[in-house]
Amino acid sequence: MHDSLFRLLYQKNVTVHQYFDHFNFLDHSKAILVVGPMGSGKTEYARRVWKDSQVARRKSQYIAECTSTGSRDRRRVIYCRSALDLSRFEQYPKDMLVSRAGVERMGDELVITRNSFDIESLIDRNSQVGTWIIDEAGFYDDRLAFVIEHAITTTQSNFVLPTLLLNFRNQLFNKTTELLISRASDIYLFTAYCEHPNCLSASHCTYRYYMIDGKECPAPYFDPLILIGGDKKSGLQTVPNYETRCEAHHYLPAMNYCYLFLKPAAVQASSGYPETLLKEFEFVVNDIENSELYSSVVQESMSKGQEILLNSLNVPLLAERMLLYLYLELQLLSEDMFISIVRRFSLQEDYLHKRFAENSLRQMPLGLETSSF
């Protein structure tokens, strides 16, 4: 269709970029991943799909036949917003989509969903709808990938899936994103400007840091992956900040430390030899300059020429973060060992309780289950 236009333009010796096609409702059975960091335009892309559907729906009965399979017309769109994301939009009406391009009232075409079961039931209940936008798809449980696969097979619906791809460790966000990637038919990769003040590069990394006494302190590698709530009660600056950064300005201290020292020490502890691990907790809590963590981060900072990595040692509750990494994420320590470390080093139980509450997979071990919060 564009051939004659492109031939004409190429003769003018200009570079032709095709920036954006309107959504193709004639296509069916698509799982379209829209990935990129915060501020890269994922929501704006999804909003355009919804706007396109408004235009496409005004077309003729002939088009309706071309865009439908059974009762489902792919020009009928429902936008699913994760309940986990609600706090971002507290001040707006529940049916309002907010993006950099403005706001859009979607009425009953915007639905709040909590998990893959909600989505599955929404698909069953709305047999006229043929295109599903699931915003922040990576926030859902990994069952979502199979719900989508089943719906595509049985209904030929289209799915548009805006999601973060990488967590602050520059690794795939979670199992859900991994499964969605392996099942996607199309992927749109968006980037944003790096948010470092001295940089205009394209970025795709999510950088987590804490502001402590006016200083930017990069989150250490072992910081908990899921951090939802703040900790106002503790009076400590434990609420993380996020920025989109290019790789050069994405600081991630203590990864070497985790793999070369902390993890092996925990493996040893779980085999009945806890001395090395306990000594390290002792140093991190009471005498950090003698810890392996300290020497590893100092060495990393020098070898990379990134002085800012040293600020990560000022992040509060380092021992609590290390313990959660070993117990909740790597599942290397027994419950007894977890409890004994918490008690021996008087770790902050409120902080630990909050992280357990955010991690629905495991309960706080018995003996520490009562909390004042």
Kindly list the residues in this chain that would bind Zn ion in the complex (CB under 5 A).
194, 196, 199, 201, 246, 249
Q: Which is nearer to Zn ion, 177 or 206 (CB)?
A: 206
**Closest distance between Zn ion and the C-beta of residue 306, in Å?**
13
Q: What's the Cα-to-Cα distance from 64 to each of 54, 155, 213, rounded to whole Å?
A: 13, 16, 60
**Closest distance between Zn ion and the C-beta of residue 245, in Å?**
6
Burial 36-50 (b: 16+ CB within 10 A, else e): bbebbbbbbbbbbbb
Q: Which is nearer to Zn ion, 291 or 311 (CB)?
A: 311
Q: Which is nearer to Zn ion, 199 or 288 (CB)?
A: 199
Q: Which is nearer to Zn ion, 51 or 196 (CB)?
A: 196
User: What is the rounded radius of gyration, in angstroms, for the C-alpha atoms of the chain?
Assistant: 24
Which DSSP letter does residue 22 get? P
**Residues ≥6 apart with Cβ < 8 Å to 207:** 168, 195, 218, 242, 243, 244, 245, 249, 250, 251
CB 241 within 8 A of CB 195: no
DSSP string, 108-168: GGEEEE-SHHHHHHHHHH-TTEEEEEETTGGGS-TTHHHHHHHHHHHH--EEEEEE--B-T
Q: Which is nearer to Zn ion, 127 or 201 (CB)?
A: 201
**Closest distance between Zn ion and the C-beta of residue 168, in Å?**
15
CB 186 within 8 A of CB 144: no
**Closest distance between Zn ion and the C-beta of residue 249, in Å?**
4
**Closest distance between Zn ion and the C-beta of residue 200, in Å?**
8
Question: 209: which 2 tokens?
Answer: 């840091």
**Closest distance between Zn ion and the C-beta of residue 205, in Å?**
9
Q: Which is nearer to Zn ion, 39 or 316 (CB)?
A: 39
**Closest distance between Zn ion and the C-beta of residue 247, in Å?**
8
**Closest distance between Zn ion and the C-beta of residue 206, in Å?**
13
DSSP string, 241-295: EEEEE-GGG---TTHHHIIIIIHHHHHHHHTT--HHHHHHHHHHHH-GGGSHHHH
Which DSSP letter does residue 184 get? -
Element (H, E) at 245: strand 241-245
Q: Which is nearer to Zn ion, 81 or 245 (CB)?
A: 245
Distance of CA 33 to the CA centre of its chain: 14
The residue count for the chain: 373
Q: Which is nearer to Zn ion, 42 or 249 (CB)?
A: 249
